[in-house]
Structure 1
Amino acid sequence: MTDVVGLTWDHPRGRNALEAAAPRLGDRSLRWEVQPLEGFESAPIAELAERYDLLVLDHPHLGDAYASRCLRPIDELFDADQIRSWELASVGPSLASYRMAGHLWALPLDAATQVSARLLRLVPQAPAQWESVADLGDEGLVALSLAGPHAFLSLCSMVVSFGDDPGRRPDRFFDRSTAERALGLLSRLAERLPEGTAALNPIGLLDRMREVGDIGYVPLVYGYVTYAKDVAFGPPPAPGGRVGSTLGGTGIAVTARCTPSSALLEHLRWLLTPQTQRGFIPGHDGQPSARAAWLDPAVDAAAHGFYSATLDTIEAAWVRPRLPGYIPFQAAASGAVRAAVLGTRPHGAVLDEIEDRFAILREDHP
């Protein structure tokens, strides 16, 4: 019998708990392989599903996964009462983000969203308004998360904080005036970025904050509890009352090629138990998806207040569209936003391109 093989992402938060917990499954073993964080952007989900039994993925991949029929519905593997209990227990929209077309497609293992990050010695007080962030930026203390998909995700989160709900109206992706306001602020911030930061992914930005110490504040960056000892995390600016943040995190999906044994299903069930989520997962560098773990005073204290400081942000997080072809759309949109923010493309042309691309995506998959 061959091993059960899973694919996760190569960071302590993505791999340590899964590898430490991997059991023997009778005469088989569960083995985890890893790829870079950006790997899920470059390899089509259907190709990965042909090679692996379990996939750790983000919710925007569900559109392509559903179109290719490469995953097993979770609700065909676990009963409705179990799934309902997981949904009630999960923080924010962590489980709900994996629902699509009447089925649940992944189990929420890891919960994350965009938050703010700052060095207390450089920025003692977190700014509450975007205009205050711009003032900090004029001092050269602010970096932006612009690499990969993050330029577009930062724009989406900003417009949410201004009252927009991207992708939910039938005729356009953004409210135009709101998107123009957000792009203008991002461009102002980009004029004084610390050198070399525009190319850094969230992990790179947090590494530089911790190790170099020349970044005082990042208004929108995915939170990593493993940096909480050195970096103070909190909500992003919320000028309109709603925190603007784009949900991340990961779920475990079972691919169509896998016929899961009862032992494998029991292991997946164990990963989501309150005891595992409050003990084993955070004890192995993970970021749990259970609200009970985020509310646990001992878990929060061990994480230097990370969970209590960001709980309200993840509870209100915006969930991205899950249409087939969304991942390439997101990549193209982010490249366009990055060019606009860095001053190499007109803002209007970039917003027109995003609207045109999303209209085509929606026409192809109504």
Structure 2
Amino acid sequence: MNLPFKGLTWDHPRGFNALDKAGREAGQIQWHKQPLEGFESAPIAELCAAYDMVVLDHPHIGEAVAEGCLTRLETVFAADALDAIAAATIGSCFRSYEMDGSHWALPLDAASQVMAWQPAHIEQEVETWSQVAEFARLSGQVALSLAGPHAILSLMSIAASLDETLDLGNGGWIPDETCRAAFDLMQSVHAHANRAAFDQNPIGILEEMSRGDHILLCPLIYGYVNYSARSANEAVSFRNAPRARVGGRPGSILGGTGIGISAGCTITPELTAHLLWLMSPPVQTSFIPAHDGQPSARAAWSARGVNADVRDFYSATAETLETATLRPRHDGYIGFQAKASAYVRDALERRKSTSRVARDLVEMFTKSLPHPERTAT
């Protein structure tokens, strides 16, 4: 079937199945897939040139705005429709796609780094970072998610638990003292972590956790509801991200995805109606989760029916989603994220000093800024 529009999403049931079924049934969008790694790093302008719609993460917004490759949502949807989506969306998902006074993607999917664990094998309480480090030391069955961009994202999440006011979405970097303390905590866990997951992306780690008991806990990993929906012997449970102190903020960096409309797309009323349908409360609380998606609507995260078949994945992690902080989004951040993550992996292996790591990261971040005269804070 030749459909009028072509979209690109990522190659996982969570990213593809609901969009594919909806697009085909509406006779609107033919969705194509790319690997998760391409989703995280491919130049957004190239993707927008080839597709009418692109599923993207919020750190790409600065690059997309600089390249002029996305359409302002305010030119497509009525203000009251956008206001309704903003009010219904969990946490900062809607805000994450805002830049220069406009919004550039519809927040279809919500996620953040949360804790994945096997409660049947863990008897002690593991809620704070000191408890995570102690469990890693005693068990050797803790995995850190470090592949791709996830090493630096984990460092940023730990920093967000230590500094409960930290929000990187408006620019700036982690304060030096917080960065040093976060890397020190990361080192303490890494020293006793299970090495089997060192090179695996989040999907690979969750697959490992679902197949055996050699990895019992991953303190920071982007949550995938699909793994909670599996049969009991293959399911992975999720809970809020670790805190620096009991009762503190669960430290996490927002993920999830939005649908951006390419600047070259010829938008029709039928397409506009279809996209608004995807964001509507009934679809977010029924159709999306029923087809392997992970909705962005707050109502879905608290709905008993949505939680019933996925071991309370949503309600058990909703606090983390509500308080998750944004990444920097400037043009140049994506390159920094890749370099900084590789640097953090190397620093953990070489056991570099916390002061050197903090100094090197702030230098890398400053160099990534579009205006060299700006300094990181």
Shorter-normalised TM range = over 0.9
- CA shift for structure 1 position 125: 4.2
d(CA) in 2 for partners of 1:250, 1:243: 21
Q: Deviations over 1:252-295 (max 9, x none)?
A: 01001101111111110100111111111000000000011111
Q: Find the partner of 1:265 among 243, 264, 272.
A: 272
Map 1:342-361; keep pairs closer than 5 Å: 342-343=349-350, 345-361=352-368
Find the counterpart in structure 2 of residue 90 from structure 1.
89
Q: Name the CA shift for 1:38/1:31 in 2 (closer, same or farther; >3 Å).
A: same
- CA shift for structure 1 position 23: 3.7
Unaligned runs of 5+ in 1: none
The answer to whether 1:193 aligns with 2:196 is no
What TM-score, normalized by structure 2, do the two folds share? 0.92
Q: After the TM superposition, which of the residue ranges 152-161 and 209-218 deviates more from structure 2?
A: 209-218
Q: Deviations over 1:17-36 (max 9, x none)?
A: 011111477xx742111001
CA RMSD, 1 decimal = 1.9
The AA in structure 1 aligned to 2:111 is: A
d(CA) in 1 for partners of 2:118, 2:71: 43
Q: After the TM superposition, which of the residue ranges 7-16 and 187-196 deviates more from structure 2?
A: 187-196
Q: Name the CA shift for 1:24/1:219 in 2 (closer, same or farther; >3 Å).
A: closer
The answer to whether 1:3 aligns with 2:7 is no
Q: Name the CA shift for 1:70/1:284 in 2 (closer, same or farther; >3 Å).
A: same
Give the SS at the match of 1:308: helix
The answer to whether 1:148 aligns with 2:164 is no
Find the counterpart in structure 1 of residue 232 from structure 2.
none
d(CA) in 2 for partners of 1:242, 1:280: 31
Map 1:1-366; keep pairs closer than 5 Å: 3-23=4-24, 29-138=28-137, 139-163=139-163, 165=166, 167=168, 173-229=173-229, 230-240=235-245, 241-343=248-350, 345-362=352-369, 364=371
Q: Name the CA shift for 1:46/1:218 in 2 (closer, same or farther; >3 Å).
A: same
d(CA) in 1 for partners of 2:175, 2:291: 42
Give the SS at the match of 2:296: coil
Work out whether residues 64 and 323 of structure 1, in 8 Å CA contact, stay in contact via their aligned partners in 2. yes
Give the SS at the match of 1:121: helix
The AA in structure 2 aligned to 1:276 is: V
State, as a whole percentage, how many aligned pairs show the same letter: 44
Give the SS at the match of 1:22: helix
- CA shift for structure 1 position 82: 0.5
d(CA) in 1 for partners of 2:287, 2:365: 41
Q: Name the CA shift for 1:327/1:194 in 2 (closer, same or farther; >3 Å).
A: same
Q: After the TM superposition, which of the residue ranges 299-308 and 77-86 deviates more from structure 2?
A: 299-308
d(CA) in 2 for partners of 1:42, 1:236: 25
- CA shift for structure 1 position 173: 1.9
Moved beyond 6 Å, runs of 4+: none
- CA shift for structure 1 position 232: 1.6
Q: Name the CA shift for 1:363/1:56 in 2 (closer, same or farther; >3 Å).
A: closer
The AA in structure 2 aligned to 1:7 is: L
- CA shift for structure 1 position 233: 0.6
Work out whether residues 340 and 347 of structure 1, in 8 Å CA contact, stay in contact via their aligned partners in 2. no
Q: After the TM superposition, which of the residue ranges 325-334 and 158-167 deviates more from structure 2?
A: 158-167
The AA in structure 2 aligned to 1:341 is: L
Q: Deviations over 1:13-55 (max 9, x none)?
A: 0000011111477xx7421110011103332100111100000
- CA shift for structure 1 position 126: 4.2
- CA shift for structure 1 position 177: 2.3
Work out whether residues 187 and 342 of structure 1, in 8 Å CA contact, stay in contact via their aligned partners in 2. no
Q: Name the CA shift for 1:350/1:215 in 2 (closer, same or farther; >3 Å).
A: same
- CA shift for structure 1 position 348: 3.2
The AA in structure 1 aligned to 2:6 is: V
d(CA) in 2 for partners of 1:65, 1:50: 11
